């Protein structure tokens, strides 16, 4: 007997009434969306997953992501959790969710998690990649997935600049306010790795760190492109970090070059 | 003094009135288009390039492609030629064309060609790639650029089948009629190479040959997927080639997995 929702074939009948936590790994092409998080002015990925779950489980449940991604930002492996009113058949639910979701969002994995698991607060780190296309013309196949920089870039300057961000710093100068007047209390973060990989046509900047402030990756990429195109000396980077003033550090790189690639949790590393 | 078109800054003044031939290399994401060739029922790539040229040169000119690509088919390097009423500044025209064209079409190269050059009739061969995504779910980033095959494929059967197409054959069984009642007179073609490259997630079938009949690549891929999924024995392939009957050889693979990668001309090989 299904005690929770007699309408839904996705809930497994259980004896005890208890919430159950599930963890999902999600990939999405962010082009068509107003970002991850539910908001009043446009369709978001979180919203579509919650709607699909509601169709299956006949109940509105909140899906908690590891963090927001902005409009146009993509994910290879966003992680989220959801508490269901009872155990679910993960295999059936996974297939059914993907059947309901549009083709630019796919749940790659759905599994039971500890009740203490929280996609955001349990995360110990994240990996982001930022893609640049160089050269005279944007590759049509990369146009939605990379920033086309026509200026000539000095890749060795880009690499030099990148190393100056690695380590533990106060990143206030590279963090936007997520909401008006709402800056992070503590802007100290550790970038473990910032690798510049690629050739004269495409570059990929791989960021790995314990956490990233709002727009931090895009702000750092924007500055590194200024450095690599000779507009600013690399020596500005330590000065900007020390200044702790967002107004000094120039423009963010556009959202469509950014991919959330991995979210790390304690048991995995 | 510009004798041909006083309105256009793209024509270089010349003394003698003569047509001049230019060759262009074009890349496009075919997702949004009804194929290469101008047609009454939808926007095509040829049409948009002709419109952009008309804006620049103030004259309608016909752009001749190396061949058609169907709706949804992509190109990394389609080749076309155009005769202009006089010499043009290729560098300025190239930049201006790309400024006028939508982001999913880019002219990569524009250069003067011999008056005898014909993008279609001068071609001695072509290279096409067909992309497959395997696995349970389609990768959102590959959804417009590869065919998602959920059935389990035996890649060694796929490779075995592919070798049976290499060489000179009558490909009537693998050619659709381009127009009703209009089959190719001579369906004998040579496939020089049909390589299967990739891993358990993505496969790329690389075709190189002296020419390809209408839908030939997609029809061959459709059949190879049937063979690799165990629906037909590889032994059917020589029988189908011998039968010279399109009705026997099954369904074409969808257009969005297909890329025109290279068009070859005598001086290049």
| Residues A210, A263 within the same domain | yes
User: Exposed e or buried b for every residue in A206-229, given b needs 16+ CB within 10 A?
Assistant: bbbbebbbbbbbbbbbbbbbbbbb
Angle, CA of A179, A185 and A188, to the nearest 5°: 115
Quick check: is A53 in a domain?
A: yes
Helix extents (H) in B58-145? 90-100
Q: Please report the residues numbered 45 through 104 in chain A whose beta carbons come closer than 8 angstroms to any beta carbon of chain B.
A: 74, 98, 103-104
Tell me which DSSP letter residue A269 carries: -
Catalytic residue among A70, A109, A154, A195: A70
Closest Cα in chain B to A259: B141
Question: What is the SS3 assignment for A64?
Answer: strand
With respect to residue A250, please indicate whether it lies within any of the assigned structural domains.
Answer: yes
Token pair for residue A11?
Answer: 């809930």
- In B, minimum Cα distance to A139 occurs at B106
The pLDDT score that the predictor gives to residue B3 is 45
pLDDT at B105 over 80: yes
Q: With DSSP H G I counted as helix, E B as strand and the rest as coil, what are the percentages for chain A, rounded to 5? A: 30, 30, 45
Quick one: which of B49, B57, B52 has its CA closest to B8?
A: B57
In a domain, A3, yes or no: no
pLDDT at A177: 79
How far apart CA A138 and CA A256 sit, in angstroms, is 13
Contacts of B30 in chain A (CB under 8 A): none
Q: Which of A70, A92, A113 is the last residue of a domain?
A: A113
Residues in B closer than 8 angstroms to A28, CB to CB, are: 140
What average pLDDT does this structure show over B250-256? 94
- Tell me the two tokens of residue A208: 């790995």
DSSP-assigned letters across all residues of A145-203: TSEE--S---HHHHHHHHHHH-EEEE-GGG---SBTTB--S--EEEEEEEEEEE-SSEE
Say if residue A168 is in the same domain as residue A65: no
- Closest by Cβ to A103, choosing from B27, B29, B143: B143
Together in a domain, B139 and B84: no
Taking the Cβ of residue A267 and every Cβ of chain B, the question of whether any pair is shorter than 8 Å is answered with no
**Closest CB to B137 among A106, A141, A143:** A106
Say whether pLDDT at A1 is over 50: no
Task: Identify whether residues A200 and A234 lie together within a single domain.
Answer: yes
Residues 191-220 of chain B with CB under 8 A from chain A are: none
Chain A residue numbers with beta carbons less than 8 Å from the beta carbon of B138 are 103, 106
Q: What is the mean pLDDT of residues B240-258?
A: 92
B143 contact residues in A (CB cutoff 8 A) = 29, 103-104
Angle ∠(B156,B162,B163) on CA atoms, nearest 5: 95
The pLDDT score that the predictor gives to residue B246 is 84
Domain assignment present for residue B6? The answer is no
- Among chain A residues, the shortest Cα distance to B28 is held by A140
Span A22-28, average pLDDT:
98
| Chain B residues with beta carbon closer than 8 angstroms to that of A260 | none
B 116-175 near A (Cβ less than 8 A)? 137-141, 143, 145
Within its chain, how far is the Cα of B49 from the centroid? 16
Chain B residues touching A137 at Cβ < 8 A? 98, 106-108
**B260 closest CA partner among B221, B212, B222:** B212
Coil vs helix vs strand at A1: coil
CA separation, residue B211 to residues A74, B63, B122, B188, B207 (Å):
39, 20, 12, 9, 10
Are B29 and A141 a contacting pair at CB < 8 A?
Answer: yes
Residues B108, B233 within the same domain? no
Structure confidence at residue A3 (pLDDT): 45
B139 carries an active-site annotation: no
> Are A129 and A236 contained in the same domain?
yes
CB contact under 8 A, B145 and A141: yes
Contact A188, A260 (CB under 8 A): no
- CATH code, domain with B158: 3.30.70.660
Whether the per-residue pLDDT at B103 is higher than 70: the answer is: yes
Distance, CA of A96 to chain centre: 24
Note whether B131 and B146 are within 8 A (CB): yes
Interface touch B27/A139, C-beta < 8 Å: yes
User: In the predicted model, is pLDDT for residue B207 greater than 90?
Assistant: yes
> A81, A113, A145 — which closes off a domain?
A113
Tokens of A107: 């749940």
* Residues of B in Cβ contact (< 8 Å) with A143: 29, 103-104
Whether residues B72 and B171 fall in one domain: no
Residue of chain A nearest B102, judged by CA positions: A140
In a domain, residue A199? The reply is: yes
C-alpha span between B69 and B73 (Å, rounded): 6
pLDDT value for A166: 98
Could you tell me the pLDDT band of residue B13, with boundaries at 50, 70 and 90?
low
Whether A33 and A78 map to the same domain: the answer is yes
Range of the domain at B55: 20-112
Can you tell me the mean pLDDT for B2-22?
63
Q: Which of A49, A109, A141 to mutate to test the interface with B (most CBs of B within 10 A)?
A: A141
Taking CB atoms and an 8 Å limit, are B27 and A140 in contact across chains?
yes
Which pLDDT score is estimated for B267? 73
Its sign, for the CA torsion A168, A174, A176, A181, is positive
- Asked if B105 is an interface residue toward chain A (Cβ–Cβ < 8 A), one would say yes
**Which positions ≥6 away from A185 have C-beta within 8 Å?**
none
pLDDT over 50 at A2, yes or no: no
Contact residues on chain A for B74, CB-CB shorter than 8 A:
141
Helix, strand, or coil (residue A142): helix
How far lies A257's CA from each of A69, A199, B100, B113, B238, in Å? 12, 16, 23, 37, 47
Percent of chain B past pLDDT 90, that is, above it, reads 82
**A108 Cβ under 8 Å from any chain B Cβ:** yes
**Residue A4 lies inside a defined structural domain of this protein:** no
8 A C-beta contact, residue A56 and residue A93 = yes
The answer to the question of residue B5 being in a domain is: no
User: Mean pLDDT of all residues in chain B?
Assistant: 91
Q: Nearest-CA neighbor of A20 among A75, A67, A59? A: A59
DSSP per residue over B161-228, as a string?
A: HHHHH-EEEE-GGG---SBTTB--S--EEEEEEEEEEE-SSEEEEEEEES---TTHHHHHHHHHHHHH
Q: What residue in A sits closest to B142 (Cα-Cα)? A: A104
* pLDDT band per the 50, 70, 90 thresholds, residue A249: confident
Q: How many domains does chain A have?
A: 2
Claim to verify: residue B96 and residue B186 sit in the same structural domain: no
Residue of chain B nearest A103, judged by CA positions: B140
pLDDT tens digits, one per residue of B71-93: 999 999 999 999 999 899 999 99
What is the Cα gyration radius of chain B? 21
Q: What is the pLDDT of residue B218?
A: 97
**Per-residue model confidence as pLDDT tens digits over A183-228:** 557 899 999 999 999 988 999 999 999 999 999 999 999 999 999 9
Confidence grade of residue A180 (pLDDT, cut at 50, 70, 90): low
* Mutant choice from A26, A72, A76, A137 vs B, greatest count of B C-beta within 10 A: A137
Residue that terminates a domain, selected from B86, B112, B138: B112
CB A36 within 8 A of CB A64: no
Closest Cβ opposite residue B143 in set A74, A104, A138: A104
pLDDT higher than 60, residue B183: no
Instruction: Compute the distance between CA of residue B138 and CA of residue B149 in angstroms, rounded to an integer.
Output: 8
Q: How far is CA A71 from CA A46, A104, A183, in A?
A: 12, 14, 20
Q: Which of B70, B104, B170, B186 is catalytic?
A: B70
Contact in structure between B254 and B248 (CB atoms under 8 Å): no
**A143–B105: do the CB atoms touch at under 8 Å?**
no
- Whether residues A137 and A100 share a domain: the answer is no
Q: Residue B200: its pLDDT value, please?
A: 81
Residues B245 and B146 in one domain: yes
A26 and A95 fall within a common domain: yes
Residue B7 lies in a domain: no
The answer to whether B162 and B154 have CB atoms below 8 angstroms apart is: no
3-state secondary structure of B33: coil
CATH number at residue A37: 3.30.70.580
């Amino acid at each position: 007997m299904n005690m929770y929702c007699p309408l839904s074939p996705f809930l497994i009948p259980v004896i005890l009434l208890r919430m159950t936590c599930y963890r999902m790994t999600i990939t999405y092409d962010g082009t068509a969306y107003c970002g991850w998080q539910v908001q009043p002015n446009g369709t978001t990925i979180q919203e579509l997953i919650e709607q699909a779950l509601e169709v299956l489980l006949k109940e509105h449940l909140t899906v908690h992501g590891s963090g927001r991604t902005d409009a146009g930002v993509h994910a290879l492996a966003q992680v989220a959790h959801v508490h269901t009113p009872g155990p679910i058949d993960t295999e059936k639910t996974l297939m059914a969710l993907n059947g309901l979701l549009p083709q630019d969002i796919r749940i790659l994995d759905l599994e039971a998690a500890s009740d203490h698991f929280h996609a955001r607060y349990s995360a110990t780190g994240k990996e982001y990649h930022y893609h640049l296309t160089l050269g005279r013309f944007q590759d049509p196949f990369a146009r939605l997935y990379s920033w086309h920089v026509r200026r000539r870039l000095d890749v060795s300057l880009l690499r030099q600049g990148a190393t100056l961000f690695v380590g533990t710093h106060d990143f206030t100068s590279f963090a936007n306010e997520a909401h008006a007047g709402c800056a992070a209390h503590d802007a100290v973060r550790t970038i473990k790795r910032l690798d510049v990989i690629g050739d004269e046509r495409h570059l990929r900047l791989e960021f790995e760190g314990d956490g990233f402030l709002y727009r931090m990756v895009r702000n750092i990429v924007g500055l590194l492109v200024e450095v690599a195109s000779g507009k600013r000396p690399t020596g500005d980077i330590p000065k900007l970090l020390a200044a702790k003033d967002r107004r000094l550090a120039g423009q963010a790189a556009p959202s469509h070059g950014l991919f959330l690639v991995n979210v790390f949790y304690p048991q995995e590393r």
